[in-house]
Amino acid sequence: MTDTLDHDIRNDIEALEALECELEATEQVETAHDRTLRRRTAVHDIEPGADWNDVEHAILTRRSIRKYKGRQVPAHMVRRIIEMGRFSPSQGNCQPWSFIVVRDKAMIAQMEAYCAAVCQGMTAGVDYTNYPEGSEQRAAIQANTQALNRDNLNSFHPVPMTAIKSIANGRFAVFHKAPTVILLLVDKRGVGVPDIDIGCVGTNIVLAAQSLGLGTCWVGFSKLLSSNAALCEQLGIAPPFELSEAICVGYPIGNPTQQTISRQTHEIIWWEGGEKQILY
């Protein structure tokens, strides 16, 4: 009985070894047919209404995270998400970007303090709600804000106005007390409109971070740092590079991925077969 079993096992092992040799032989030689298959672009048609794939899921569950856990993000993960940014598209493939990663608590605090001070200064000149309704001061400051708004392309839209007020009051942190801040610098020598390329880089970084379970938030107020020459020098922001945007990175409080949310629908003008349709 035992002999037969041993014999069977020996036979099996021999058969497996023979099969492995055969496979190795076929792997080494790539036929012309195999190469043709590799050359061809794969077409992956999906059924209508199919489930989200991983990339779509990352896009749909991404939120701008403004409350972070205290825990620092491991350095290799930050390197990893910036690497994804490096592979984003750019005009003329000029790759007009550079990164500054700030993980130093004292430095983030310094950046925060400066931006908050600028916002405090700003509220005096732009926040007319500090003055009683009907007063002359209110009317004057409101006119001033409206003029500034036209010059600064919607910098004083009601949403940033609320934010400026909140930052000045200390209710809202510019860098959201995130453990890591990535500053995105734009190379002004870039082809065409290099700021668009910064948008692409940031989107890649943000989505990669989302897929790794990190939370991110774009911080437009970081631009205020540009007016502080000493801080710029300390951080390493120098021409031809300019500070374009900042992205906060950290572990989110709560699980914002457990529920997708609604967003506005936008008009799509759809031209096909000589006809125009409006879709939403």
Partner 1 sequence: MTAPRVEKAVVPPDHLPIWDDPHQALYSQVTIELDKCDGCRLCAVVCPANILEMYGPKDNLKVRLKADVSGCMSCNNCLAVCVAQGVFATEPYDFVGVYEQKRIGPFEFPRRF
- The piece of 72-80, 82-90, 166-174, 177-185 that touches partner 1 (CB under 8 A) is 166-174
In the bound state with partner 1, the residue whose beta carbon lies nearer, of 91 and 112, is 112
| 60 binds partner 1 per the rule CB under 8 A | yes
Take residue 176 and report the two structure tokens written for it.
């959201």
One DSSP character per residue, 145-202 reads HHHHHHHTTSTTSHHHHHHHHHHHHTSS-TTTT-SEEEEEEEETTSSS-HHHHHHHHH
Q: Is 103 left (phi over 0), alpha (psi -120 to 50) or beta?
A: alpha
Pairing of strands 97-102, 180-187: antiparallel
The residue from 91, 120, 211, 257 that contacts partner 1 (CB under 8 A) is 257
In the bound state with partner 1, the residue whose beta carbon lies nearer, of 93 and 255, is 255
- The piece of 15-23, 71-79, 180-188, 246-254 that touches partner 1 (CB under 8 A) is 246-254
The residue from 267, 271, 274, 275 that contacts partner 1 (CB under 8 A) is 267
**Beta-carbon neighbour count of residue 259 at 10 Å?**
7
| Residue 116 backbone phi and psi in degrees, to 5 | -65, -40
In the bound state with partner 1, the residue whose beta carbon lies nearer, of 206 and 237, is 206
Q: Which residues pair with 250 in a beta bridge?
A: 215
Number of residues that bind partner 1 (CB under 8 A): 45
The residue from 145, 210, 216, 228 that contacts partner 1 (CB under 8 A) is 145
The residue from 113, 238, 254, 270 that contacts partner 1 (CB under 8 A) is 254
Smallest gap, in angstroms, from Cβ of residue 186 to partner 1? 25
From CA 99, how far away is CA 168, in angstroms rounded? Answer: 28
- The piece of 19-27, 85-93, 143-151, 221-229 that touches partner 1 (CB under 8 A) is 143-151
- The piece of 14-22, 62-70, 83-91, 235-243 that touches partner 1 (CB under 8 A) is 62-70
Smallest gap, in angstroms, from Cβ of residue 203 to partner 1? 18
Identify the residue whose tokens are 């409101």: 142
| 159 binds partner 1 per the rule CB under 8 A | yes
Smallest gap, in angstroms, from Cβ of residue 21 to partner 1? 48
Q: Residue 73 contacts by C-beta under 8 Å, 6 or more apart in sequence?
A: 179, 180, 214, 249, 250, 251
| 280 binds partner 1 per the rule CB under 8 A | yes
Element at 246 (helix H, strand E)? strand 241-250
| Residue 242 and residue 232 in contact, taking contact as beta carbons nearer than 8 Å | no
| 124 binds partner 1 per the rule CB under 8 A | no
**Interacting residues with partner 1 (CB under 8 A):** 48-52, 60-61, 63-67, 128-129, 142, 145-146, 149-150, 156-159, 161-162, 166, 171-172, 252-267, 280
